[in-house]
Chain A
Amino acid sequence: MRMYKGLSIILGFLFLGEAITKLTKIPVPGNVVGMVLLTLALLFGLVELRDVEEVATFLIRNMSVMFIPPGVGIILYWSMVRAQLLPISVALIASFAITIIFTAKTVELIRR
Chain B
Amino acid sequence: MASFGLFVTLGIFYALSRVYEKRGGKFYLNPVLLSILIISVGLKTSGISYQFYMKSARILFFLLGPAVVSLAIPLYRERKTIVSYAKEISIGILSGGLVAALTAFYIAKLLGANKSVLLSIAPKSITTAIAIGVSSKIGGIPALTAVLVILTGIMGNAVGVELLNLARVKDRVARGLGMGVTSHGLGTARIILDDELSGAVSGLAMALNGVYSSFMLPYLIILLMRR
Residues on A lying within 8 angstroms of B by beta carbon are 7, 10-11, 13-14, 17, 27-32, 34-36, 38-39, 42-43, 49, 52-53, 55-57, 59-60, 62-78, 80-81, 84, 86-88, 90-108, 110-111
Contact = CB atoms under 8 A, between A and B. Distances in A.
Contacts of B121: 88, 91-92
Nearest to A9: B69
Interface string B168-188: 011101110111011101000
Contacts of A81: 117, 144
Task: Classify chain B: how many residues form its interface, as a range.
Answer: 35 or more
Most B C-beta atoms less than 10 A away, residue of A30, A64, A77, A99: A99
A74 to B, nearest CB: 4
Q: Is the interface of B mostly helix, strand, loop or mixed?
A: helix
Contacts of A35: 68-72, 75, 211
B132 A94 contact: no
A87 B117 contact: yes
Interface string B83-101: 0000110011001100110
Given A77-B143, A81-B117, 4 more contacts: A88-B121, A95-B100, A96-B182, A101-B167
B145 to A, nearest CB: 9
B171 A67 contact: no
Contacts of B108: 87-88, 90-91
A7 B65 CA distance: 12
Interface string B138-150: 1001111011101
A27 B219 CA distance: 8
B107 interface: yes
A84 to B, nearest CB: 5
